[in-house]
């Protein structure tokens, strides 16, 4: 790599770090346990946001930066493939969301149960994660911010267009549900969903349901992944009235038969979190 290319790459990465500072502050802090507590008859939900290609210079900036968008909400393409290969080598039983819900309702999960999901659905997922999922034949669920589909500058990330989402769905590996229509924001320091009354939550939910019916061939959604992993009883009561029966959070816990249907946990995966929590998870033994 020439000196000029090194400088350009470094400048681009520094711009990413500075511009995405406001994105990283949108996510709540999490106290990480030392391990993922295991009980028999459980499943682990893995949640990703960005899967990025990093060169040498980018890795240096990532190492030096405290930006959580890079250290917590992004994994490298290399790390993501290593994680998927590890799970395949451990004979993980990958399930779709539809299968997961079926097992949950039955109260009986298969051994080594793993469910993979992605929030926001930005362009790095199609460019970097999708080919790896195809390589290892791993199904995934994507949660879409329906009011922002195709937005090239949503909090400094570029979201996939509907045509691209349709192509991914046609591969047979992907299924999609809602990440709200217009609630992926903070009002002050509080997730917008938590600040809204019943009528506002109902309107946003209906807008998202209408979008899926229109753009996903009449798909009737029954689940939601909460922005920032947070919801409250006001929201979940509305979701129930609207036919949304399951809600997914961000918590470092297993999914179990006694998990609350509106607070089903998913582990937010970073490179550190995977090494600490998933590689040693007793559910893969």
pLDDT for the residue numbered 20: 46
Helix, strand, coil % (nearest 5) of the chain?
Answer: 45, 20, 40
pLDDT for the residue numbered 54: 76
3-26+42-284: CATH architecture: Alpha-Beta Barrel (3.20)
| Other CB atoms within 10 Å distance of the CB of residue 93 | 18
pLDDT for the residue numbered 22: 44
In the chain, what's the furthest Cα-to-Cα distance? 60
Report the C-alpha gap between 71 and 60 in whole angstroms.
Answer: 12
Residue 223 is inside which H or E element, if any?
Answer: strand 223-225
pTM: 0.88
pLDDT for the residue numbered 248: 99
pLDDT for the residue numbered 58: 58
Low-confidence residues of the chain: pLDDT under 50: 1, 3, 5-9, 11, 17-28
285 Cβ partners below 8 Å, 6+ apart? Answer: none
Instruction: Provide the residue ranges of all domains of the chain, joining segments of one domain with +.
Output: 3-26+42-284
Report the C-alpha gap between 88 and 82 in whole angstroms.
Answer: 10
């Amino acid at each position: 790599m020439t000196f000029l290319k090194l400088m350009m790459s470094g400048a681009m990465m520094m711009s990413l770090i500075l511009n995405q500072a406001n994105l990283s502050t949108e996510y709540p802090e999490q106290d990480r346990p030392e391990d993922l507590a295991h009980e028999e008859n459980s499943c682990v939900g893995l949640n990703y946001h960005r899967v990025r290609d990093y060169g040498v210079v980018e890795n240096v900036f990532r190492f030096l930066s405290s930006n959580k968008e890079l250290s917590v909400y992004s994994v490298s393409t290399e790390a993501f493939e290593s994680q998927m290969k590890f799970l395949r080598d451990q004979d993980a039983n990958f399930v779709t969301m539809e299968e997961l819900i079926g097992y949950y309702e039955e109260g009986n999960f298969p051994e080594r149960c793993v469910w993979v999901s992605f929030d926001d659905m930005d362009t790095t997922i199609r460019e970097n994660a999708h080919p790896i999922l195809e390589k290892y034949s791993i199904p995934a669920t994507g949660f879409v911010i329906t009011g922002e589909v195709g937005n090239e500058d949503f909090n400094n990330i570029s979201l996939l267009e509907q045509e691209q989402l349709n192509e991914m769905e046609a591969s047979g590996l992907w299924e999609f549900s809602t990440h709200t229509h217009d609630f992926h924001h903070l009002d002050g320091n509080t997730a917008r969903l938590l600040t809204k009354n019943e009528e506002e939550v109902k309107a946003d939910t209906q807008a998202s349901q209408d979008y899926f019916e229109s753009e996903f061939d009449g798909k009737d959604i029954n689940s939601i992944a909460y922005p920032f992993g947070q919801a409250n009883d006001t929201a979940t009561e509305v979701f129930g009235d609207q036919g949304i029966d399951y809600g997914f959070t961000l918590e470092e816990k297993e999914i179990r038969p006694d998990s609350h249907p509106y607070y089903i946990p998913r582990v937010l995966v970073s490179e550190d979190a995977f090494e600490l929590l998933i590689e040693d998870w007793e559910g893969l033994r």
